[in-house]
Every structure is written in C-alpha cells, then in structure tokens.
Chain A
C-alpha cells in the first residue's frame, strides 16, 4: 500500500548524461513537489505542481526540468548533471485546498561520476 513511489531508488549517471527520475502516487493528491536534499542539509524545494500548474523556485537551475503528464505521475529531468547535483531527490505530495500535509516518497539517491 505504498503511497508515494519513487523509481529508481538509486541512480548512477555520468557527468553531463541526462537522467530522469520518476515519482508516482496512489493518493490522488493535487500537489506534487520535487526536493533536493544534500548530506546533512534540509530538503530544498525545486518546483511543484498544483494539478497542471507549474511553480518553479527562483533559484532552481535551468538544468532541472519537470513534467507531470497526469495526476499520478511526475518526472524530474536533469539535462546535464554535474558533480554538484549528486544528492537525494525527494518527491512529496499534498492534497491541496485547505489540506496542507506533505508526504514524502522514499527518495532517489543520485550519484554523478
């Protein structure tokens, strides 16, 4: 009965080689978020979708893109990964409206070689 699923759990990519991370949810939540979390730091919001409305954080590099083809799925594309992009990428969801609680997926650990 997993609620927020991320694939893969571990991803190794080469410097500059595009990579896509996947998130799916069975909660039918309206809002989906992508966070980047580096070691010993708090999660940092990259962007979020409310339904199909995309909200990008001002300091999210252009190298990071996202797609949400339907309610259940959201993808994070890193067009040209650099060594500094190695991190845990966390997907989260919330119902939206007046329900604010965010629930996180297990994360994808990205290694850039």
Chain B
C-alpha cells in the first residue's frame, strides 16, 4: 500500500520567514495530494491540494509543488504569522473509485511561528 513520509517533524521559524514542509510518497498511482492544518483540539482543515496533472498551485501565502518523477511534494508558507502555528499533515490518494478515495497521511509537522 501507499506510504507517505513527512519531514521535518517539528519546524520553528521567526515571524515573517518562510516555512517548507516536504513529503514523499511510494505509490506512483497516487494522483491527489492535499495538505491539512490542524490546530490543537480542532479538526483538520484542508488548506490546499494539488493533482498530479499540475506541478504547482498557489493560494495567497501558501503554495504546493509536486514532482511526480521523484514522487515528492512540498508545502511552502511565506511571510509566516503566529496564527500559522499548527500541525500540518500531507496526504496522498489515488483519487476515485472504491478504496482509492482513501487518504494516506504523513505523520505531521508541528510548525511554530515565533513572534
């Protein structure tokens, strides 16, 4: 089955700096890669996602890049703010059909943005 590795497990940055979180996946059939932000005691919140037919996607301060050949994708947060502090999870799935909807999650990255 799919295996998703996520690094680093913790990341501490100064406010205004950029943060990058990287994930690798094992199954070349995976074609959908979402990123979730989870604040303490709250639900995972979808912040951005990318499909395998796209190399990069941006939404204001966050962006995701995908390298299908190398089977890795990354989350980039620019101009970080204290409210960006949370656990971030990457995930992968094969998209549609039966159990293909299943998301395989990375283990998460605790991002701390210091004021």
Contacts and interface: CB of A to CB of B under 8 A. Distances in A.
A106 B42 CA distance: 6
Interface residues of B, number: 22
B96 interface: yes
Contact of A101 (B46, B99, B106): B46
B3 to A, nearest CB: 12
Given A42-B105, A42-B106, A45-B103, A100 B44 contact: no
A81 interface: no
A50 to B, nearest CB: 7
Q: What's the dominant secondary structure at chain B's contact region? A: mixed
B43 A31 contact: no
A48 B96 contact: no
A56 to B, nearest CB: 10
Contacts, number: 54
- Range for the number of chain A residues in contact with chain B: 20 to 34
A42 B3 CA distance: 13
Interface string B80-115: 000000000100010110110111011110000000
B101 A42 contact: no
Nearest to B104: A45
B44 A48 contact: no
A105 B36 CA distance: 13
Contacts of A61: none
B101 A48 contact: yes
A8 interface: no
B12 interface: no
Interface of B: 32, 34, 36, 42-46, 49, 89, 93, 95-96, 98-99, 101-103, 105-108
